[in-house]
Structures are given as structure tokens and as C-alpha cells.
Amino acid sequence: GAVVSQHPSWVICKSGTSVKIECRSLDFQATTMFWYRQFPKQSLMLMATSNEGSKATYEQGVEKDKFLINHASLTLSTLTVTSAHPEDSSFYICSPKREGRQETQYFGPGTRLLVL
């Protein structure tokens, strides 16, 4: 199976700071990257979809100015939570889609964010 990494795996920060989460597809190229958020005991909620070199498409209710997504290359995408608040505390999971494989979607191990 494909290898997807996320960094950091967990982060604790103070309210008001910004946090950047990196997602890398280590052995394949991802033309599309999905970012999900998961609150405790809940399901994964899609936040946004990004394509390499273009602006991300955000799901309804997700603030694009708060959750900045950069998909600068086919192997790296970043999600920056700007001015994080306690309600942003969650588990963030990236999911790169392998180029040319419509059914193949892989998931990163997730990043747990705790905002104090």
C-alpha cells in the first residue's frame, strides 16, 4: 500500500497561535488532496479538497481564511490552522488521491491538535 505521512503527529499550542500540518505522499504522486477533521467519537468530516497548483475548494461551513491549504507539489500539502482556538482542537487527517487511480484513496496517520 501507499505510504502517507503527517507531521506533526500531535501538537499542543496556545490559543491565538497558528499551526501548520504537513502531509506527504512518500511513494506516489497525489493530484488531489483531501483534508478531514474528526472530533472525539465522531466521524470524519471533509474540510476541503485541493489540487496541485490551484486553490482549494472548501466544504460548507469551513472558513477558508482560517484553514489555509497549500498544495504546492504532487507529494506535499499543508494545512495551516490560523489563530487557533480551543474549538479547533481536533484530529486532522489528510488523504491524498493517487494520480490515475480513481478508486484509490489513502489516509495519513492524523495529527491531533490541542489548543489551550
Site membership for another protein, residue 95 (CB under 8 A): yes
Query: Closer CB to another protein, residue 46 or residue 116?
Result: 46
* DSSP at 53: T
Contact segment (CB under 8 A) with another protein among 11-19, 71-79, 81-89, 106-114 equals 106-114
Neighbours of 37 (CB within 10 A): 21
Site membership for another protein, residue 50 (CB under 8 A): no
Q: Output the CA–CA distances (angstroms, integers) from residue 80 to 3, 75, 98, 100, 109, in the order listed.
A: 22, 17, 23, 28, 17
Site membership for another protein, residue 35 (CB under 8 A): no
Site membership for another protein, residue 107 (CB under 8 A): yes
